[in-house]
Structure 1
Amino acid sequence: MTEKRANVLVTTAGAVGTAGKILGLRQHGHRVVATDCDPRSAGLYLADAAFTVPGGTSPAFLGRMRRICASENIQAIVPLVDEELLPVWELAAEGVEILLPHAEMVALCLDKLVLMETLAEAKVTVPHTRLATFGAGSLAYPLIVKPRAGRGGRGIAIARNRRELRDILARAGDLGQWIIQEYVEGPEFSVSVVAWRDGQVQAVVPKEVVLKEGSSRYAISRRNPAITEICIETAHALDADGPFNVQLRLDSLGAPQVFEINPRFSGSSALTTAAGIDEINGLLAQALDTHQPPVTDNWQENVAMIRHPIETFVPADEFVARRNALEAAH
């Protein structure tokens, strides 16, 4: 069945991994419009069209996005940063396909304390977690202290004893905005879970994080039945109907424990694609055409991702014209 070609908006053009997503969509014949708040973001120069936008928390963000969608006849949006995930759902009412799980799941995942409580209630194995206001209680060290809301590794600190925890909490400010969680010290995995509106999990691709510096720098696709099982359990517990990324670690017995979920495509989705599951183009095809078949869960393990800068070359006049336009609009 032939895929429909579409005008697709990809946000956060300057984030690690976004350039590859833009180029991958263009290789499938889609017209890609990129956005970012920084006119220097490389992805803005790799798309068919590009715009600067306010940050996702700005009151002006949604209006700007709405105007871009109208002027560029956008049919689908691939949002890639947490601050934008809930606001962009407003555009679904105007007929734009949003490549995310439903808004209720997004909101739940963005509150890391409520997420852990919800998964624990559903019998999904998670590290014991408490609001920082209540201290460590009976939690076992080492402990990780992190914002209750917010992206990735921002603000995270590890406490290996009571004194370190006390010092971390003394610097934290409003403890109601922080959580304390038992730290699982085993191997970390970033797992792409592919699902769409019927709620069926189409594929699960675990990627072992070999080196993490903000995002995965080196990672390897790995088959692990226990990880696949817990990710399917997580999808059912959250009524997932869109792509999401599970972050987990294996404990000393090799059992996975889910410690966070990104309710969007992961930064390492390029490795998911390289292993054989093109989750972005696959779900985009289903969003645009309900007759498109689901993604086939057939992929290759032991594919290693080495993340590094790469140069792309374009005509100078095109680059200069876009640079001038973006800076003028910023």
Structure 2
Amino acid sequence: MNTNVLITSAGQRVSLVKAFQKELKKKFPDSIVISVDFNPDLSPACRISDAYYKICRVNDSQYVSELLSICRENNIGMIVPTIDTELKILAENKAVFQKEDIHLIVSDKGFVNSCRDKRLLNDFFSAYNIRFPQPVDKYNPIFPLFIKPYDGSLSKDIYLIKTEAELTDYHKENPKFMFMEYIDPALYKEYTVDCYYNKDHQLCCAVPRQRIAVRSGEIQKGVTDKNNIIDYLNQKVATIPGAVGCITTQLFFNKASNDIVAIEINPRFGGGYPLSYEAGANYPKMLIEEYFENKIITYTDDWEDQLLMLRYDAEVLVRNYE
């Protein structure tokens, strides 16, 4: 059995690579973690991996074949995707990797498509009776309102519109923009919840972490928080057909009223997952045990509450770089 792990679009995910290296060595000392990226020489996560490779962009017609070739060459047994744009193409080609006995940790394409298109995601929320920001008529708006693209990520192209004077033709005419109810951060705190879904698509762990400070859409300061969000998710989404591995859910939570408003689901490891890992929600270990050792993963809430993460920039130095 091949037990090497490959992480795609590694970029700056140094902590994620290190977590997989640490957990993999405990189980399979001779196994390694390999990374791929479009520009691996300038990727700190690639540089600290056991090996790394350059790969074409995900929208290139050769992406799947290149990835498969790298997997064959390096005896890869598991692929862990990390960015939104690669999820759809990988989900559509999941069977290609299964034929090679490679565990591609990506949810089924139906669920991925719903997560990637926020219009479909709202349908998902409705089906599970989960509250989400209500649509606003852009031709008869109520202020303040919030605008974001239906296929956006990393907080790109989002707008808080407080008055009619701030609403421009650009906003109204962009077909990708969704107009929605504004959730007041003075009343609601923003959370990302790192969830783990096993092979049977059952929720096995959920770690809410408050987003205290964010940079470029990724958490910079955050704290784990055992609260009513956990019970809420267990009631609403204890099972999601097609969901596997780490699923990050973003939502707003008003502790005073116990109101929860969901805004996004990203079916992959989030950039802030290292906080959940350090708190004891060991998803790399769960993946290794479930897919390499065929262990049954059951529900756990054995992780540290009120663990604060304060991120800072660090360096990876490469000598004799040309």
The more displaced of 110-119 and 276-285 is 276-285
Q: Provide the C-alpha distance between the structure 1 equivalents of 2:286 and 2:302, rounded to a whole number of angstroms.
A: 13
- Pairs within 5 Å for 1:274-289: 274-289=278-293
Q: 1:62 offset after TM fit, Å?
A: 1.5
- After superposition, the C-alpha distances for 1:232-272 in whole angstroms (9 at most, x for unaligned) are 51453555333200000124734111001111111111011
The more displaced of 274-283 and 106-115 is 274-283
Q: 1:295 offset after TM fit, Å?
A: 5.9
3-state secondary structure, aligned to 1:244: strand
**Paired residue for 2:118?**
112
Q: Structure 1 residues 232 and 50 mapped into 2: Cα distance closer, same or farther (>3 Å)? A: farther
- Pairs within 5 Å for 1:1-12: 6-12=3-9
2:101 equivalent to 1:102: no
Q: Provide the C-alpha distance between the structure 2 equivalents of 1:145 and 1:231, rounded to a whole number of angstroms.
A: 30
TM-score by length of 1: 0.85
**Paired residue for 1:44?**
46
**Paired residue for 1:255?**
259
Q: Alignment identity in percent?
A: 23
Q: Is the 8 A contact 2:213 2:221 kept in 1?
A: yes
Aligned length in residues: 306
Q: Structure 1 residues 180 and 106 mapped into 2: Cα distance closer, same or farther (>3 Å)? A: same
- After superposition, the C-alpha distances for 1:269-298 in whole angstroms (9 at most, x for unaligned) are 101111111112212321222225436321
**Paired residue for 1:27?**
22
Q: Which amino acid aligns with 1:221?
A: T
Q: Which amino acid aligns with 2:123?
A: E
Q: Which amino acid aligns with 1:69?
A: C
Q: Provide the C-alpha distance between the structure 2 equivalents of 1:137 and 1:244, rounded to a whole number of angstroms.
A: 36
Q: Provide the C-alpha distance between the structure 1 equivalents of 2:225 and 2:35, rounded to a whole number of angstroms.
A: 32
3-state secondary structure, aligned to 1:94: coil
Q: Provide the C-alpha distance between the structure 1 equivalents of 2:235 and 2:103, rounded to a whole number of angstroms.
A: 24
Q: 1:137 offset after TM fit, Å?
A: 4.6
3-state secondary structure, aligned to 1:75: strand
Q: Structure 1 residues 167 and 306 mapped into 2: Cα distance closer, same or farther (>3 Å)? A: farther
Q: 1:300 offset after TM fit, Å?
A: 1.1
2:268 equivalent to 1:264: yes
Judging by fraction of residues, say which structure has more helix: 1
Q: Is the 8 A contact 2:220 2:311 kept in 1?
A: yes
Q: Provide the C-alpha distance between the structure 2 equivalents of 1:136 and 1:109, rounded to a whole number of angstroms.
A: 27
Q: Provide the C-alpha distance between the structure 1 equivalents of 2:243 and 2:140, rounded to a whole number of angstroms.
A: 32
Q: 1:75 offset after TM fit, Å?
A: 0.6
- Pairs within 5 Å for 1:165-176: 165-170=167-172, 174-175=174-175
Q: Provide the C-alpha distance between the structure 1 equivalents of 2:99 and 2:84, rounded to a whole number of angstroms.
A: 20
**Paired residue for 2:127?**
121
Q: 1:142 offset after TM fit, Å?
A: 2.3
Q: Structure 1 residues 293 and 263 mapped into 2: Cα distance closer, same or farther (>3 Å)? A: closer
Q: Structure 1 residues 77 and 137 mapped into 2: Cα distance closer, same or farther (>3 Å)? A: farther
Q: CA RMSD in A?
A: 2.4
Question: 5+ unaligned residues in a row in structure 1: which ranges?
Answer: 325-330
3-state secondary structure, aligned to 2:124: helix
Q: 1:223 offset after TM fit, Å?
A: 1.0
**Paired residue for 2:70?**
68
3-state secondary structure, aligned to 2:209: strand
Q: Structure 1 residues 295 and 53 mapped into 2: Cα distance closer, same or farther (>3 Å)? A: farther
- After superposition, the C-alpha distances for 1:195-248 in whole angstroms (9 at most, x for unaligned) are 111122111100000001120000000011245413651453555333200000
3-state secondary structure, aligned to 1:55: coil
Q: Is the 8 A contact 2:145 2:161 kept in 1?
A: yes
- After superposition, the C-alpha distances for 1:6-47 in whole angstroms (9 at most, x for unaligned) are 2101112214xx111111111121411101112311111101
**Paired residue for 2:28?**
none
Q: Which amino acid aligns with 1:248?
A: L
Q: Which amino acid aligns with 2:168?
A: R
Q: Which amino acid aligns with 1:233?
A: K
Q: Provide the C-alpha distance between the structure 1 equivalents of 2:2 and 2:210, rounded to a whole number of angstroms.
A: 33
Q: Structure 1 residues 163 and 196 mapped into 2: Cα distance closer, same or farther (>3 Å)? A: same
- After superposition, the C-alpha distances for 1:141-163 in whole angstroms (9 at most, x for unaligned) are 32221111132201111111233
Q: Is the 8 A contact 1:99 1:284 kept in 2?
A: no
